[in-house]
Amino acid sequence: MNDEHSQMACSSISHYAAQCFSSIQECMTEYSVLYRPVLSVDGNQWCALYGTDLQSGVAGFGDSPAAAMCDFNRNWSAPLPGSPSGIARTAKATA
């Protein structure tokens, strides 16, 4: 392998390493990673729960643990239904 090929290979490896690092960094900031909800089976689905119960905590449900964690990540940012932004969101969805 000559110097030009070595430099191209090094550049390519560096590029892919940076992409992998970026993907890992993005995953490490997800709410399910930061807050580590408890996974359990609830009926026929997985439940990711942060808190003592469904009424006072945040939960996500799915057919797999990964799907439950994705739902948990979405629900973490969702406003309470009775809050001003939750009411506006409900009104917008029904209009």
pTM of the model: 0.71
Most confident by average pLDDT, 25-29, 78-82, 85-89: 78-82
For residue 79, give both structure tokens: 């406003």
Model pLDDT, residue 18: 83
In degrees and rounded to multiples of 5, residue 47 shows phi and psi of: -125, 130
Render pLDDT for 71-82 as a digit per residue (tens, 0 to 9): 999 999 998 888
- In angstroms, the CA 40 to CA 53 distance is 12
User: What is the chain's mean pLDDT, rounded?
Assistant: 89
Model pLDDT, residue 81: 81
Enumerate the domain spans of the chain. Answer: 3-94
- pLDDT at 47 > cutoff 80: yes
Q: Are 76 and 31 in contact (CB under 8 A)?
A: yes
DSSP, res 44: T
Confidence of residue 1 (pLDDT cuts 50, 70, 90): low
Sequence-ordered list of residues with C-beta below 8 angstroms from that of 69, at least 6 positions apart, any chain: 30, 32, 37, 39, 48, 60, 62
